[in-house]
Amino acid sequence: MHHSLPITPQFYVTAPQPCPYLEGRMERKLFTALHGSAAITLNDSLSKQGFRRSQNVLYRPSCAECSACLSARIRVADFKPGKSQRRALRRNRHLQREAMSPWATDHQYELFREYLNSRHADGGMADMDVFEFSAMVEETPVKTRVIEYTDPTETENPNRLVAVCLTDVLDDGLSMVYSFYRPDQARMSLGTYIILDHIEIARAAGLPYVYLGYWVPGSSKMGYKARFNPVEIYRNGAWEELTDPENFSADTHPLSVDPISEQVAQIALPEIKAGNR
- Specify the CATH number for 72-240; select among 3.40.50.720, 3.90.79.10, 3.40.50.10860, 3.40.630.30: 3.40.630.30
Peptide bond just before 230 cis, omega within 30 deg: yes
pLDDT tens digits along 254-264: 667 788 889 99
> Which residues are CB-contacts of 159 (< 8 A; sequence separation ≥ 6)?
96, 150, 151, 152
pLDDT tens digits along 54-104: 999 999 999 888 888 999 999 999 999 999 999 999 999 999 999 999 999
Strand pairing report for 26-27 and 4-6 = unpaired
**So what's the pLDDT on residue 121?**
57
Tell me the C-alpha distance between 99 and 202, whole Å. 13
Whether the predicted pLDDT of 273 surpasses 70: no
Domain boundaries, given as residue ranges, for the chain: 4-69+250-273, 72-240
Tell me the C-alpha distance between 218 and 84, whole Å. 22
**So what's the pLDDT on residue 252?**
67
Q: pTM for this structure?
A: 0.92
Report CA torsion sign: 107, 104, 128, 124.
positive
Strand pairing report for 238-241 and 231-235 = antiparallel
Whether the predicted pLDDT of 272 surpasses 90: no
pLDDT tens digits along 6-63: 678 999 999 999 988 888 889 999 999 998 889 999 999 999 999 999 999 999 999 8
SS (H, E, C) 157-197: CCCEEEEEEEEEECCCEEEEEEEEECCCCHHHCHHHHHHHH
Average pLDDT rounded to a whole number, residues 117-125 = 71
CA angle 138, 76, 41 (to 5 degrees): 45
Q: What number of other Cβ atoms are within 10 A of residue 94's Cβ? A: 10
**So what's the pLDDT on residue 276?**
47
Tell me the C-alpha distance between 273 and 124, whole Å. 39
User: 143 φ, ψ to 5°?
Assistant: -80, 105
Tell me the C-alpha distance between 60 and 276, whole Å. 35
Q: Where are the beta strands (DSSP E) in 55-191?
A: 57-61, 70-75, 96-100, 144-151, 160-169, 173-181
pLDDT bin (cut points 50, 70, 90) of residue 277 is very low
% the chain with pLDDT above 70: 92
pLDDT tens digits along 148-203: 999 998 877 777 899 999 999 999 999 999 999 999 888 899 999 999 999 999 99
Contact 188, 205 (CB under 8 A): no
